[in-house]
C-alpha cells in the first residue's frame, strides 16, 4: 500500500488552507492539547474489529493473541478503519492482556468469554512470578508501530494499554467478572499483595507504552475499563496511584495521554488528576458537565452511546449534533463513542457519522 495522503488520512489539510507538518499538528493531537482545530476530530474505540467484514476476513482462523503478535496483520487491521471511515486517528490493534502474556502470564483469550488466566493471582508469590516485561518480548509491537507510522503519514497512531486495576481484575478473577468480588476481596483483605500486584502491572504497562512511544505513536490511551466498579474513595486508594505511575512515567514522552473508563461519573476528576491530558467520558455524563467536573486543564473524549448507532439516521444525527454542541463547550473535544463499537454495528453508519462530524463541526 502506498503511503496515505493527508487528504485520505484526515490530516489538518482537510480544509485545504494549511500545510501539514505531521501527526503532531493533526486535529486529533491539537484537540488533545486543547489547541484550536479546523474541525472536531473523531475516532472510535474498537474501530478496528468485528464490525468490519474485512477484519473478520483477515482474522479467520487466527486466534486473538496470535493476531496481535503478527506485525503485518496488526498493520492491516489497524489501517482498515482509517481507510474505510476516514477517522482522524488510528489506534494500535492489540489487546489489554498482550503485555501480560509477553511478561510470562499463562493466559489465553477464549472466543465468547474473554481472557482466561491459568493460575489466578492471590499471593505475593503469585505476583513474584509475573514479569517484568522486557521490551524485546514485545518486539512485534515495536515493528507494527513502525510499519504503521511509516504508512499513516499525517494521521496519528494512538498507543494502547490496559490500566493496572483492570489488568489486576483479570489476573485475580481468572477471567472477566461482573462483580469483581475476588478482586475487591484481595484489595481490602490483602492490600500488600494488591499494591505489589498493581505496582508490577504499572511497570509492565509503562514499559509496553514506552515501546510504542519510542516506535512513534502520537498519543496513548490507558484503558481502565472496569474502574467504574469502584467508589471514588476506593479508586483513589487502590487504583489511582498505579495509573498515576503509568501516566506520570510518560509525562516526558511528549505525547497526549488519554485516560478512559466506563461508568465513571463519580471518578472523572480523579481520572484526570491521575495524569491525563484527555479524560474519556461515557454517554451517561454530558461532556460539558463532565468537563466542568474535570476542570479546564484537560480535554475530554466521547461520548455517543454505541447503541445510538442502531437508531434511524435522524436520531443518530441529532445525537451527534448534541454531543458536538456539548463538546464545543469544553476546552478540547475528541469525538468518540462512550464505549467500544459493538460487533453488530453497520460500518456504513460509522462512515456517515465521521462525515457528519467533520462537516457539522467545520470552523
Instruction: Give the nearest distance from C-beta 306 to its own copies in angstroms.
Output: 7
State yes or no: residue 349 binds its own copies (CB under 8 A): no
User: Residue 305 catalytic?
Assistant: no
Name which of 15 and 188 has its Cβ closer to its own copies. 188
Give the CA diameter of the chain. Answer: 60
Catalytic (active site) residue 252? no
Query: Is 170 among the catalytic positions?
Result: yes
Give the span between the Cα atoms of 100 and 339, in whole angstroms: 23
Q: What is the x/- site pattern for its own copies, positions 218-257, by CB under 8 A? A: ----------x-xxxxx-----------------------
Q: How far is the CB of 190 from its own copies (least distance, A)?
A: 9
Nearest-Å Rg of the Cα atoms of the chain is 19
46 is a site residue for its own copies (CB under 8 A): no
Report if residue 180 touches its own copies, rule: CB under 8 A: yes
Dihedral angle of Cα 169, 172, 175, 181, to the nearest 10 degrees: -70
- Grid cell, residue 322, equals 448534541
Cα distance between residue 158 and residue 277, in whole Å: 14
| Candidates 25, 33, 59, 234; catalytic one | 59
Residue among 97, 130, 93 nearest 212 (CA)? 93
Using CA atoms in the order 226, 201, 187, 295, what is the torsion angle rounded to 10 degrees? Answer: -50
Instruction: Find out whether the peptide bond into 196 is cis, omega within 30 degrees of 0.
Output: no
Separation between Cα atoms, residue 285 and residue 198, nearest integer Å: 28
Nearer to its own copies, 25 or 317 (CB): 317
φ/ψ (deg, to 5) at 118: -60, -45
The region of 27-35, 99-107, 299-307, 347-355 touching its own copies under the rule CB under 8 A is: 299-307
Of the two residues 83 and 284, which places its CB atom closer to its own copies in the complex?
Answer: 284
The answer to the question of residue 110 lying near its own copies (CB under 8 A) is no
Q: Is 17 in the site for its own copies (CB under 8 A)?
A: no
As separate numbers, helices (DSSP H) first and strands (DSSP E) second, the chain gives 16, 9
Residue 175 DSSP SS3: coil
Q: What secondary structure letter does DSSP report for 42? A: B
HSE-up (13 A, CA, CB side) for residue 109: 14
Among 62, 110, 128, 185, binds its own copies (CB under 8 A): 185
Query: Of the two residues 176 and 249, which places its CB atom closer to its own copies in the complex?
Result: 176
Q: In this structure, what are the phi and psi dihedrals at residue 91, rounded to the nearest 5 degrees?
A: -125, 135
Binding to its own copies (CB under 8 A) within 256-295 occurs at: 263, 265-266, 283-286
Nearer to its own copies, 143 or 317 (CB): 317
Residue closer to its own copies by CB (options 214, 315) is 315
Answer yes or no: are the C-beta atoms of 158 and 91 closer than 8 Å: yes
- Is 235 catalytic? The answer is no
Residue 179 interacting with its own copies (CB under 8 A) = yes
Query: Using the rule CB under 8 A, which residue among 214, 315, 328, 329 binds its own copies?
Result: 315
Is 59 one of the catalytic residues?
A: yes
**Which residues are known to be catalytic?**
46, 50, 59, 95, 170
Which residues contact its own copies by CB under 8 A?
179-182, 184-185, 188-189, 228, 230-234, 263, 265-266, 283-286, 305-308, 310-312, 315, 342, 344
Amino acid at each position: 500500500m502506498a503511503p496515505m495522503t493527508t487528504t485520505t488520512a484526515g490530516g489538518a489539510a482537510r480544509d485545504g488552507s494549511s500545510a501539514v507538518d505531521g501527526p503532531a499538528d493533526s486535529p486529533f493531537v491539537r484537540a488533545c492539547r486543547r489547541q484550536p482545530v479546523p474541525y472536531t476530530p473523531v475516532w472510535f474505540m474498537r474501530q478496528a474489529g468485528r464490525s468490519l467484514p474485512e477484519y473478520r476476513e483477515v482474522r479467520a482462523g487466527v486466534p486473538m493473541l496470535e493476531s496481535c503478535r503478527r506485525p503485518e496483520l496488526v498493520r492491516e487491521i489497524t489501517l482498515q478503519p482509517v481507510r474505510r471511515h476516514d477517522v482522524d486517528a488510528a489506534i494500535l490493534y492489540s489487546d489489554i492482556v498482550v503485555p501480560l502474556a509477553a511478561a510470562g502470564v499463562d493466559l489465553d483469550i477464549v472466543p465468547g468469554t474473554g481472557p482466561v488466566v491459568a493460575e489466578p493471582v492471590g499471593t505475593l508469590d503469585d505476583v513474584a512470578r509475573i514479569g517484568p516485561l522486557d521490551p524485546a518480548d514485545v518486539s512485534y509491537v515495536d515493528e507494527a508501530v513502525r510499519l504503521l507510522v511509516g504508512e499513516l503519514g499525517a494521521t496519528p497512531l494512538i498507543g494502547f494499554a490496559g490500566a493496572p486495576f483492570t489488568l489486576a481484575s483479570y489476573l485475580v478473577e481468572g477471567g472477566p467478572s461482573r462483580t469483581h468480588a475476588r478482586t475487591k476481596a484481595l484489595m481490602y483483605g490483602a492490600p500488600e499483595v494488591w499494591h505489589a500486584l498493581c505496582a508490577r502491572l504499572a511497570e509492565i504497562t509503562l514499559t509496553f507504552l514506552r515501546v510504542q512511544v519510542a516506535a512513534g505513536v502520537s498519543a496513548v490511551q490507558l484503558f481502565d475499563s472496569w474502574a467504574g466498579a469502584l467508589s471514588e474513595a476506593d479508586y483513589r486508594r487502590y487504583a489511582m496511584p498505579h495509573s498515576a505511575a503509568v501516566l506520570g512515567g510518560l509525562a516526558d514522552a511528549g505525547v497526549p495521554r488519554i485516560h478512559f473508563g466506563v461508568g465513571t461519573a463519580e471518578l472523572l476528576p480523579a481520572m484526570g488528576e491521575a495524569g491525563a491530558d484527555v479524560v474519556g467520558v461515557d454517554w451517561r455524563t454530558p461532556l460539558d458537565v463532565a468537563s466542568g467536573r474535570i476542570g479546564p486543564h484537560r480535554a475530554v473524549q466521547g461520548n455517543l452511546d454505541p447503541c445510538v448507532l442502531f437508531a434511524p439516521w435522524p436520531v443518530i444525527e441529532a445525537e451527534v449534533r448534541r454531543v458536538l454542541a456539548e463538546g464545543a463547550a469544553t476546552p478540547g473535544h475528541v469525538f468518540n463513542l462512550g464505549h467500544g463499537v459493538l460487533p453488530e454495528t453497520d460500518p456504513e453508519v460509522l462512515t456517515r457519522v465521521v462525515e457528519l462530524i467533520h462537516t457539522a463541526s467545520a470552523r
